[in-house]
Chains A and B, each alone.
Chain A
Amino acid sequence: MTTVVQTTNLCKTYGKNRGIDDLNLQVVQGEVFGYLGPNGAGKTTTIRTILDFIRPTSGSAQIFGLDSQRDSLAIHQKISYLPGELVMYEKMTGREMLEYFAQLRGNVSQMAIKQLAERLELDLKRPIRSLSKGNKQKVGLVQAFMGQPELLILDEPTSGLDPLVQQTFYQLVLEAKNSGRTVFLSSHVMSEVEHICDRVGIIRAGKLLAIDTVKALKARARRTLDLYFAQPVEPSAFAHIPNIDDLQVLGNQVHCAVTGSIDQLIKTAAQFELRDLVSQATDLEDIFLAYYKGEVSDVA
């Protein structure tokens, strides 16, 4: 697999409590990579460093094997970018705006603009200033997808979009992936990342906490379990299991939280007569919150 984005000990500091710290991440060709973190975690800083808008304090970033600073022109020929805070020329119409960007990019067909606008139900004749936030975002999305770039860098792409348009967006991402393009998207919406991303990196306070497939992250997740036994059980019977916490024993009912594998807990429980077992479904949100609170600290 070809590496598309590679950051090596990437640091960017400005002021205090901002920036990114010793970031190592790798995105390979054809994957949809989700970059997840709360606001202010350093998602946008990472993206803007990769794009050479800001320069790393130390470390480096390679895109398509090219240096983000030295070869930025060659890199920018193969990428598109949707800013998190999208601002466009208010007086221009959507069409003027997109044609301007098409000229700056080169190799954009009018047909691509027209088709994307139709799919997103965007009226290109209206001036930007008269568009709602969601419709402005659509102009930004057309801009990002129209040039058929090899790498799409999308910063909070679905903000302001209604659910129906979000589905169209997921479709566009899937099509890009299926044609071998790479998508790097940042988000603080867990469900969206879970829905469309192959791999996820979780960032908090400038540090990459975990980077793994959605599946693997889920397997490492902390989940709560309630076990109901035929007879009362002793708490000591469960105390030796290393990966459980929040253990509460009430007569014949046991409540606990498990991080990672539930194998040991189940084997222990199987020594008694088990009547019922309730497991809270895990979604990425819980994993994310666990990382966010600092409950999980291992980095893959």
Chain B
Amino acid sequence: MLRNIFSKTIYERRRSLLWWGLGIIMLVAVLIGFYPAMNNPETSQQLAKAMEAMPKEMLAAFGVTDVANLTTPAGYIQGRLFGFMLPLIVMIFTIGLGSRVIAGEEEARTLDLILAHPIRRSTIVWQSFAALCVLSLAMGLITWLSLWLGVLLLDMQIGASELGAASFNMSLMALCFGAIALLIGAATGKRALSMAVATILAVIGYFANSLASVIDWLVPLQKLSPFYYADYNQPLKHGFHYLPFLVLGSVIVLCGFAAVKLFERRDVAV
């Protein structure tokens, strides 16, 4: 299990993956479990009324953009899970890991021992990067499987491929911020800084996307937000689309290349 930096990183994070994965499963179970209660016509009408009374900006900020749709299976899963809670959980995981792999080891001073071995700096970054990708996508996989099971049990009529597309997009989006954290960590060696910058960018990206439906001047900026691509073309309704994969994938790979270049150039653990 400890053959290289890639497998060591995954091995080391196995418990963390388990706990965060359990968190996702529980979140999905609880929210899917409440769906039948929401789906009842009386409740849904009451809910729609209550929602209409609320400021649209506030609803948008919580990822609810389509009040009428909130009681359909796809609308419910989008609004309740993919709109806020699932990305939040997965991003805490990816940003935490992204800032830990290089900067965390550097601050802990374990990186010195690794660097003294016959291993290129670029290899250190790429293997850490690969571990981050695999673990982030594993979170997406857990999301997909738990949603699929829930949808099957409650007969919610959403296909596995649509759930898969939404879960995949969400994990790519979270990975984007994880890759940004890794990049800043590799460039500066400062773990807290990389975590803070990635988190701030995630918060900005989230609001730039969700508030664009109510604030006009945000519309052009929305397209810069990874959140926009996670929900692009409504994956829960229309399944996989190449664009989010292309855009988010490019950002992630670019972060990797930049991380390698910047890490190769600088003094480590001064």
Contact = CB atoms under 8 A, between A and B. Distances in A.
B238 interface: no
Contacts of B118: 73-74, 76-77, 104-106
Contacts of B116: 51, 53, 76, 79-81, 83, 153
Given A54-B270, A89-B12, A104-B119, A99 B2 contact: yes
A14 B270 contact: yes
Contact of A100 (B8, B112, B120): B8
A54 B268 contact: yes
Given A54-B267, A91-B12, A99-B2, A76 B119 contact: yes
A143 interface: yes
A106 B117 CA distance: 9
User: Chain A contact residues (Cβ within 8 angstroms of B): what range?
Assistant: 20 to 34
Contacts, number: 67
Contacts of A92: 2
Contacts of B117: 76, 101, 104-105
A48 B111 CA distance: 12
A186 B270 CA distance: 18
Interface residues of B, number: 22
B109 A87 contact: yes
Contacts of A87: 108-110, 112-113
A79 B269 CA distance: 20
Nearest to A91: B12
Given A14-B270, A53-B268, A83 B113 contact: yes
A76 B115 CA distance: 9
A14 B120 CA distance: 24
A242 B110 CA distance: 53
A2 interface: no
Contacts of A100: 2, 8
For B2, B8, B119, the residue with the greatest tally of chain A CB atoms inside 10 Å of its CB is B2
A99 B112 CA distance: 17
A53 B12 CA distance: 25
Contacts of B250: none
Contacts of B267: 14, 53-55
B4 A104 contact: yes
For B109, B113, B267, B270, the residue with the greatest tally of chain A CB atoms inside 10 Å of its CB is B113
Interface in B1-21: 2-5, 8, 12
A145 B80 CA distance: 57
Contact of B114 (A55, A99, A104): A104
A85 B113 contact: no
A103 interface: yes
A165 B80 CA distance: 62
Contact of A53 (B2, B3, B110, B115): B115
Interface string A58-102: 000000000000000110110111010111110110001001110
For B4, B108, B116, B269, the residue with the greatest tally of chain A CB atoms inside 10 Å of its CB is B116
A91 B110 CA distance: 13
Nearest to B108: A87
Nearest to B111: A53
B110 to A, nearest CB: 5
A99 to B, nearest CB: 6
Interface of A: 14, 48, 51-55, 73-74, 76-77, 79-81, 83, 85-89, 91-92, 96, 99-101, 103-106, 143, 153
11 contacts: A14-B267, A53-B112, A53-B268, A73-B118, A79-B116, A85-B109, A87-B108, A87-B110, A103-B2, A104-B119, A105-B118
Given A48-B112, A87-B109, A88-B110, 15 more contacts: A53-B112, A53-B115, A53-B267, A73-B120, A76-B119, A77-B118, A81-B113, A81-B116, A83-B113, A85-B109, A87-B110, A89-B110, A100-B2, A143-B113, A153-B116
